[in-house]
Structure 1
């Protein structure tokens, strides 16, 4: 069994502590540490860092920590602890920034539609606070209005953005490594497997077929940042 490298061991420990200690103490740290929409009253710039240590459930935590260990270990062994940590946090923070940018674009698109209908900014704020609206005045679909409310109120949590960066870096470093999923137990080379996963996130992110509150564009953001850094390092043989 692959040994747990130093940086990954500490990241796993922090993630486990941040999940179970608040649970045992019945503390909700979501408003403080999860990544909120910038205009939400709970937003803080530190959340681009802290949201990586928050998880929505035990399975969310388990899958992320397994992927961190399975795919991150060979990268840390290859790069060293400092370089790996720089990569991990760059991918995670970059994922949060890209996720915010996409949410901002989507939110303001709906916001402008409401303004063009004659709904004032004060009335829009009341809609966001109350979670209800007068459908005799607003002609947008219920689905669009639910999305508008969700973009403003639903925070992002999890290390998935950073994990997607790791997956991409793994595919660049070990393109012919064979990977498989439990529900698709056919080994596929990483250079094909990882791009298919990212394409799936892109598909679900733009088509509304996603099941549950999955931050697809955070995954894509982490993959983009991870690709840029890993590709640059491979080309230039950069060393920290």
Structure 2
């Protein structure tokens, strides 16, 4: 189950959201050659990824920022950019281009710091934009809790697109991050769940001033939690989703955390 689009059009062109997507893709493509050499890749991660143990020793702080623009694989960057594309434009619409830029970076920094606090002596490099994107999702939840989001549900051979309110999709996602954070051993690579949790909470908190400026509880009363404009309508009754055959990769890559 994952979102493919929302029904919440933005009132202005989301230049910052598009720029962030473009930068992330450009950086990812420019580092693909490093996968041919695990030694070169680990050296690169040591300089630009977020390594909690480095922060605990008093250096590597730049990784809090640079790690937000690195990704560990095609599915990693595709998923992150899809989430940013779906939820980023509406926050940028409400915050403005400069405000959204600062918000995104602050949410990413907060997510990185929470990840460090959760496992301060981990030497596993952490890369990915999803801590910042989790902040975008937290802000979206506060401003548009009842905006409809189309999610793709895959049950073996059954593909179905189902519209659900944003609060339900985001609450389920947040619960899954909490469950993953509590259940995954701290000394293993995989998903940086606590970065997701931290980014979500930080993003929600940073959106409170915007919500208050819009009227706070009166904004919810006025809009009933829905976008304050006509929603985009899609025909989900005839959705066709192509089947994609998976391919196993035999390349050897270093263990990292993805966020």
TM-score for the superposition, normalised by structure 2 = 0.67
Q: Which one of 57, 70, 79 corresponds to residue 63 of structure 1? A: 79
Q: Which has the higher helix share?
A: 1
Q: Which residue of structure 2 lines up, in the alignment, with residue 30 of structure 1?
A: 45
Say yes or no: does 1:175 pair with 2:190.
no
SS of equivalent to 2:163: strand
Offset, 1:14: 1.3
Contact 1:35–1:43 (Cα < 8 Å) also in 2: no
Say yes or no: does 1:187 pair with 2:163.
yes
SS of equivalent to 1:154: coil
Q: Which one of 88, 92, 95 corresponds to residue 79 of structure 1? A: 95
Offset, 1:63: 1.1
Rounded Cα–Cα distance in structure 2 between residues aligned with 1:201 and 1:177: 22
Structure 2: tracts of 5 or more residues without a match: 155-160, 216-259
Structure 1: tracts of 5 or more residues without a match: 108-151
Map 1:112-131; keep pairs closer than 5 Å: none
Rounded Cα–Cα distance in structure 1 between residues aligned with 2:214 and 2:53: 37
TM-score for the superposition, normalised by structure 1 = 0.72
Q: 1:42 to 1:18 in 2, by over 3 A?
A: farther
Offset, 1:236: 4.0
Q: Which residue of structure 1 lines up, in the alignment, with residue 212 of structure 2?
A: 235
Rounded Cα–Cα distance in structure 2 between residues aligned with 1:186 and 1:64: 21
Which digits, 9 at most, give the CA deviation of each residue in 1:95-137, with x for residues without a partner?
0001100112xx5xxxxxxxxxxxxxxxxxxxxxxxxxxxxxx
Q: Which one of 84, 105, 109 corresponds to residue 93 of structure 1? A: 109
Offset, 1:221: 0.5
Contact 1:37–1:43 (Cα < 8 Å) also in 2: no
Offset, 1:80: 1.1
Offset, 1:39: 4.0
Q: Which residue of structure 1 lines up, in the alignment, with residue 64 of structure 2?
A: 48
Q: Which residue of structure 1 lines up, in the alignment, with residue 29 of structure 2?
A: 20
Map 1:110-149; keep pairs closer than 5 Å: none
Q: Which one of 215, 228, 234 corresponds to residue 192 of structure 2? A: 215
Q: Which one of 130, 152, 171 corresponds to residue 160 of structure 1? A: 130
Q: Which has the higher strand share?
A: 2
Q: 1:52 to 1:4 in 2, by over 3 A?
A: farther
Q: Which one of 9, 34, 42 corresponds to residue 18 of structure 2? A: 9
Q: Decide which structure has the larger Cα Rg and report it.
A: 1
Contact 1:31–1:42 (Cα < 8 Å) also in 2: no
Offset, 1:175: 1.2
Contact 2:180–2:193 (Cα < 8 Å) also in 1: yes
RMSD: 2.7
Contact 1:35–1:156 (Cα < 8 Å) also in 2: yes
